[in-house]
Amino acid sequence: MTIASVLRKKGNDVISVSPETLAVEVARLITSRRIGAVLVRSPAGEVLGILSERDIVKAVAERTNATHGVFVRDIMTREVVMVSPDTPVDTALEIMDQGYFRHLPVVDGNGALLGIVSVRDLVKHRISTQQHDVESLKAYVTRTYMH
């Protein structure tokens, strides 16, 4: 079970914004699209950071005035941990757990962005795989002991 198998089912759409986007616009985007984070990318497509719901809440909590006028570049997480398509799902979940974050961009060996996975995507994939394994075992036992 690798990240590549998750992306095959999920797709590789990525919502991105520029560092000059207003944080309040990202809050509206995240809310309307029902997603937990957006990637922050340069015009050339380079990943510069990630902005999550948690980053926005933290910015609101740390500012005594409103967050209007705050740009993505001011509050984004700059140190973005990324994985490859060959990363095992369990390893990706461990990375997320240890880093206290819920989203991982997926890049190929050349650093090209292939997609993004969330902890929800990975858990959903694991559950689906486990259900398939259980059904396969049931079928095997039924065939073996019914004949």
Q: Name 101's Cβ contacts closer than 8 Å, sequence gap at least 6.
A: 52, 54, 77, 81
> Order of strands, edge to edge, in the sheet holding 47-52?
16-17, 37-41, 47-52
* Total count of domains within the chain: 1
Q: How far apart are CA 122 and CA 114, in angstroms?
A: 16
Residues with Cβ within 8 Å of 125's Cβ and at least 6 positions away in sequence, in order, are 1, 5, 6, 9, 89
pLDDT of residue 134: 61
Q: Compute the half-sphere exposure of residue 21: CA atoms within 13 Å on the CB side of its CA.
A: 24
pLDDT score recorded for residue 62: 87
What are the pLDDT digits (tens) for 97-116? 999 999 999 999 999 999 99
- What digits encode the pLDDT tens for the residues 117-129? 999 999 998 887 7
- Mean pLDDT taken over the chain: 89
**Tokens found for residue 69:** 């006028």
pLDDT tops 70 at residue 142: yes
What the block records as the tokens of 16 is: 């991105």
- Whether 53 contacts 28, CB under 8 Å: no
pLDDT of residue 126: 84
Residue 30 pLDDT > 80, yes or no?
Answer: yes
CATH code for the domain of 55: 3.10.580.10
pTM, whole model, 2 decimals?
Answer: 0.82
pLDDT score for 137 = 65
Domain span at residue 40 reads 3-146
CB atoms within 10 A of CB 141: 10
Q: What angle do CA 71, 29, 21 make, to 5 degrees?
A: 20
- Model pLDDT for residues 50-95, shown as the tens digit of each residue: 999 999 999 888 886 766 789 999 999 999 999 999 999 999 999 9
